[in-house]
Structure formats: C-alpha cells, structure tokens
Structure 1
Amino acid sequence: MPRKTKSASPTSPSPTLALSDLHIHLAALEKEHQSLLKQIKRKRTEINNFVEQMRYLATEIFQKASPCFKKMADLDQQIHALFKEILTTRKFGKQTQKNIEYLYMNLQISGIITPKSGSDEEEDPELDELFEKPETEDNHSRQNRHQYWDSQQEVESSSASRTDESRKIRQTFLKLAEIFHPDKVKDSETQMSHTEIMKEINKAYQEGDLARLLEIEMQHQLGETIDNNSEDDLTRRCKNLEQQNEILKTQYDKLKQELRLAKNTPEGAMVSDSRKAAKHGIDSMGLMLKQLESQIDIIVDIRNFLQDFREKRITIKEFLQGPPSLRSLRAEMMEELLEEMMEELEGRIVF
C-alpha cells in the first residue's frame, strides 16, 4: 500500500529577505524616532527652565538690589556735582587744575563713577585720550551683542531655507488641522476640545516645531496604518520616518544652540554662576548685596572726601593722594596682582 504524503498546511508564505530587511530597518528608524522625540522634549524643558530661572533671578536682583542701585546713582550725581563745583568755583594753579581733572577722569575710567556727558563742559583733548580704552571695550561689548543676534538670525534663516523641512511640517499640520478643525464637528463639547487642540497645533506650526506636531499625532493615535507584509507600505513608512528623523535632528541641534546662546548672555552667565555657588552652599544673592554695600561704602567715602576738600578741611596735597579707602583698595589690587604673577612664575619654574 503506497504511503500517503502529507498535504502542506495552508500557512502564510514566509516573508522574503527584502521584507525582513525592511522590517529591521523600520524598527531601527522607529527607535531612533522615539529617541529623538524624547531628546527634543527634554531639551525644550531644559530651555524653558533655564529661561524661567533667568527671569526669576532678574526679578530677584531688581527687587533686592534696587535700593543699592538708587543710592549709588544718587551718590554718583553728588560726586559729579562736587567736582563741577570745585573746578569752577575754586582757583588753582594750572598744574593743580590738571591734576584734579586727571583724578576726576580716573574715577570715571575705573568705573567708580559714571562718565560725565560731553555737554557738561568743554573737553580737554589730552584727557579725552584716557577714554579710548573704555570706548574700545564698549565697541567690543557691542560686537559681542551683534554676534549673538547674528547667530540667532543665522539659525532662523537656515531654518527658513529648508524647503523640504517646511513642506513636511506643513503636511503634518494640514493633516492634523483636517481632523481637529472645530468647524468639522457639531456638538459643543467636542468643538471646545478641538479648539484647544487646534491652538496647540497652530502654535507648533508657527514655531516650526515638528516634534510637537508628531507628539499631538501620537497622543491621539493618528499614525498611519501599514500592512507589514506589503513592501510598498513598509518602504513608504521607512522613507517618511527618514525624512522626519532628519528634521527632528535639525530641530534638536537648533534647541541645543538656543540653550548655548542663552547661557552665553550676561543673564545666562549669572544663572550658571548662581547654580555653581548653590552647589557649594554659597548665597550668591547675599554675596552680591555685600559687594554692592562695599562699593557704596567706597563711594560714600569719596563723596565725603570731596566735601571736606570743598570746605577746605584738607589740603590740596592730601586731596591729590585720594581718600584712604581708595588707597587701601589700590594696595589690595596690587597685592592680588603680585600674587597672581608669583603663582604664574612658580608654575613655569622647573627644578
């Protein structure tokens, strides 16, 4: 009796090698996609937190340091007025007059008092040369600010030039707008819900935030359905993810640059310094207020010194030597400078 051969069971055919490769490639792209979305979300949160800290610190400084700044501004005006009175009402020899003017200029150059406006008095060309360095420093500061804004404009212009990126963002926006437009539903409750979602969609679109649009899409489970056994579906999905991932990488790089630019601003540097100080248990705000109070003490001493000179309670020789607090400050600065030079010299000596 002949043996019966077993009939093949009606199972689905095994996937081809091309399909297997597509499945592996699609899985890798989806993993990269999810990772990029998480990185962008974390970086966006980091930026928002940093900007919020900048605002908080600026508000705290304004509230706590405003009385000190106001007092310093009042003292500054008094010192300028005293110098003007001394130079216009008292009679000095030519050299003494020059020495007093030179002392006045030095206080302005050193930043102890503000530079006087050019309209106050006729300027001396020789003394004007003393202000060349601060002017250069101001130009340097302005150059830094221009570089900061140029960098921001460069980021914005490079984003606008990517037509593929803009097209992909617009496509995602239109797909979401088609689904969530409030006019497409009748009941008031759904309309209210769709209105709020559309606000998020519009905001993300205006900011060119593809990651947020994709988050909304995933949140409401609106991703495209594909046939895992269809090579065309898998290929289309892979191509779509590749395009999205490239845009997300660019968006992540832009967020990193935005955070870097924020940290390089004076306000950002203050936040970074405040964080470092807090790690070491240092009250940076209290320290800043103490420094301001020390500066006020020096300015008060200068104001009193000028008043004594105006009332002729000290001689011209004593006046030209400067107030004791300023002399001790210069001595401390010289000591610090010498210490730094000695440390640098010791570091270069090889035994």
Structure 2
Amino acid sequence: MPRKTSSTSHTNITTPLALSQLHIRLEGLEKEHQNLLKKIKKKRTELKNFVEQMRSLATEIFHRANPSFTKMSELDKEIHTLFAEILTTRKFGKQTEKKVKSVYLNLQMAGIISPKFESEQSDSELDEMFDNDQHENDDCSQGKNSHHHEYRETQQGLEFSSATRTEESRKIRQTFLRLAEIFHPDKVKDNETQMNHTEIMKEINKAYQEGDLARLLEIEQKHQVGESIDNNSEDDLTRKCKTLEQQNEILVTQYENLKRELRLAKNTSEGAMVSDARKATKQGIDPIDQMLETIEMQISLVTEIRDFVKDFKGQKITIKEFLEGPESLYSLKQEMMEDILEQMLSELDEIVVF
C-alpha cells in the first residue's frame, strides 16, 4: 500500500517591493510627524509661558516701582527747566556759555537725564555724525554695481519665500476646511453634539487664524478624523507619504519660527529682566526689591545733581565750582571708566583664547 504524502498547502503572501518600501517610508514620515508635533507643542508652551512671565513681571514692576519712576521723571523735568532758566537768564561769556551747555549735554549723553539735544554744541556734534554717515554712504554707493547681482539673488529668494508661504497657506486652509466640514455645528441636529462641535470649531478657527498647522493636526488626531487609507494600496500609500512630506516641511518651518520668536522675546529688555529675575530668585533674592534699591540709588544721584544745578542757578556756587561738577559725577565717571576697561580686558581675553 503506497504511503500517502501530506499535501499541506503553504500560501505565501508576498508584498511587492515598492509597497514594502512605501510602508517603510510612511513609518519614517509618521515618526517624524509626531516628533515635530511634540516639539512644536513644547516650544509653543515655552513661548507662551515666557511671554506671560514678561507681562506679569512688567505689571508687578509698574505697581511697585511706579512711585520711584514718577520721582525720577519729576527730577528729570526739573533739571531741564533749571538749565533752560540758567541759559536764558544768566549772562555768560561765549566760552563759559559753551562749557555750561557742554555740562548739560554731557548729563544727557551719560543717561543721567533724558536727551533734549537743544544746545548748539549738540547740533554741531550731530552734524558731524551725519557728515560721517554721508561719507560712508558715498563709499557704499561706489560699490553699488558690485552688489547688483547679490540684490537680484535676494529678490529671487524673496520670491521663492513668498511662493513657499502661499503653498503653506494653501495646505493650512485645506486642513481647516476638512475639519470645518466635519465639525461645523450646522452639520448636526443633536443639541449636545452641536455645543461640543461649537467649542471644537472655536479651536479650529483660532488655529487657522494664527496659521498654526500643528494645532489643526492635533485636533484632527485628538478626534480621530484623519484620512483613512488602504495599507495595501500603492496609490493610497503614495498619496499619504506626499501629504506627510508637505505637512512636515510646514511643521519644520513653524518650529523654527517659534524658536526665533522665543529668542527675540528673550533678547528684549523685558526678556532680559525675566532672565535676571530668575537668576535672582534662585539666589533667594527678590528681583524687584533689588531693582528698587538700584532706582533709589539713581534717584539719590539725580537729586544731588538737581541740587547742584539749583545752587548754580541761585549763584550759591561759582562758575568754576559748577564746571568742576559735583563729587557724585566724579565717582560715576570713575565707575564708567572701570566698566569700559573691564569690558576691553574681557574682549582681549576672548581674542587671546581664539
């Protein structure tokens, strides 16, 4: 009796190579996509928190330091008024008047009082500055032709950038319209669903107005309304890969823009105050108290200068004594010179290191 052979059939399902490559490509793009969404969300939160800290600190400073700022403003106005009265009522020789105006200008240039630049000396100095700028402009104009090619390249870059932004706007609008079609409250009859869709549409509209593609895609993922594809369809996979590539390009740009916005915010004077406040807080110091102490020292200095100018107006001190200046100015100049020297030495050290 012949032995029966087992005829177990093995069905091998083979995936075409192109399809397999598309699966790998799609997996990589989706991983990049999710990573970008997470990075954008984190950077967006970081920027929002930093801006809120700036506003909060500015508000607190305004409330606590406003009396000091008001006092500084009053002193500033008083010193300007005193100099105006001195220069209109006192009779000086030509050289003496020039020296008095020089004292007035120096106080402005040093930042002790606000700039007015009303003296003849300041006008002549400013004229010299403009003359120098004109010479520089003349030198630059001589090389105008050499920069013509660079200008054209810049213009072409701007045109490319504009075209890119238009494409980004189109993609963002496509995503917005797709979500609006799904979540528009008029599309449903149930009151509870209408209320829910109304809230979602508020988020969608806000994200669209801000050009925030990442937020639109987050809403899409949250409510699981993304485009469904057939994983065995080469056309579907190709289309999905192309969509993700385009979205990822926009997301990269959005992330870079958020990084730039945060960097710009940190480089403002308000941003610097936030950074200083954080450092002071870590050291157990109230940053605003520290700032108020500095302001009080400045008020003390400006008050001394106000009294000094007032004494000169009332002829309680001589012209020679006035031109020599108050003792506080000597110490201030000394500090300024020390700061300049310290900065020069620091820059020299950096040069030596490199």
TM-score range, shorter chain: 0.7 to 0.9
Match status 1:227 vs 2:233: no
Structure 1 residues 298 and 243: CA distance shift in structure 2, 3 A: same
Paired position in structure 2 for 1:303: 306
Distance of 1:206 and 1:159 partners within structure 2: 18
From 170, 175, 178, give the equivalent of 1:172. Answer: 175
Structure 1 residues 46 and 289: CA distance shift in structure 2, 3 A: same
Paired position in structure 2 for 1:33: 33
Paired position in structure 2 for 1:2: 2
Shift of 1:220: 0.8
Paired position in structure 1 for 2:124: 129
Identity score, percent: 67
State the number of aligned residues: 327
Amino acid at match of 2:103: L
Query: 1:208-247 counterparts in 2 under 5 A?
Result: 208-247=211-250
TM normalised by structure 1 equals: 0.82
Shift of 1:18: 3.0
Distance of 2:24 and 2:285 partners within structure 1: 53
CA deviation vs aligned residue, 1:300-329 (integer Å, no higher than 9, x gap): 101111222233322222122111211222
Distance of 2:190 and 2:80 partners within structure 1: 72
Two-structure CA RMSD over aligned residues (Å): 3.1
Paired position in structure 1 for 2:193: 190
Question: For 1:162, what is the secondary structure of its paired residue?
Answer: helix
Structure 1 residues 251 and 115: CA distance shift in structure 2, 3 A: closer
Amino acid at match of 2:249: E
Bigger mean CA deviation after superposition, 189-198 or 325-334: 325-334
Q: Would you say the 8 A contact 1:39–1:252 is kept in 2?
A: yes
Unpaired runs of 5+ in structure 2?
Answer: 132-156
Paired position in structure 1 for 2:332: 329
Unpaired runs of 5+ in structure 1?
Answer: 137-153
CA deviation vs aligned residue, 1:239-262 (integer Å, no higher than 9, x gap): 222222222122212222222222
Structure 1 residues 105 and 18: CA distance shift in structure 2, 3 A: closer
Match status 1:17 vs 2:17: yes
Shift of 1:343: 7.2
Q: Would you say the 8 A contact 2:266–2:272 is kept in 1?
A: yes
Amino acid at match of 2:24: I
Structure 1 residues 180 and 326: CA distance shift in structure 2, 3 A: same
Distance of 2:102 and 2:43 partners within structure 1: 53
Structure 1 residues 174 and 311: CA distance shift in structure 2, 3 A: closer
Shift of 1:31: 1.1
Shift of 1:200: 0.9
Paired position in structure 1 for 2:100: 100
Distance of 1:345 and 1:201 partners within structure 2: 54
Distance of 2:65 and 2:306 partners within structure 1: 21
Distance of 1:110 and 1:88 partners within structure 2: 24
CA deviation vs aligned residue, 1:78-122 (integer Å, no higher than 9, x gap): 11222222233333333322222221222122221123375xxxx
Shift of 1:230: 2.8
Distance of 2:240 and 2:347 partners within structure 1: 62
Structure 1 residues 49 and 345: CA distance shift in structure 2, 3 A: closer
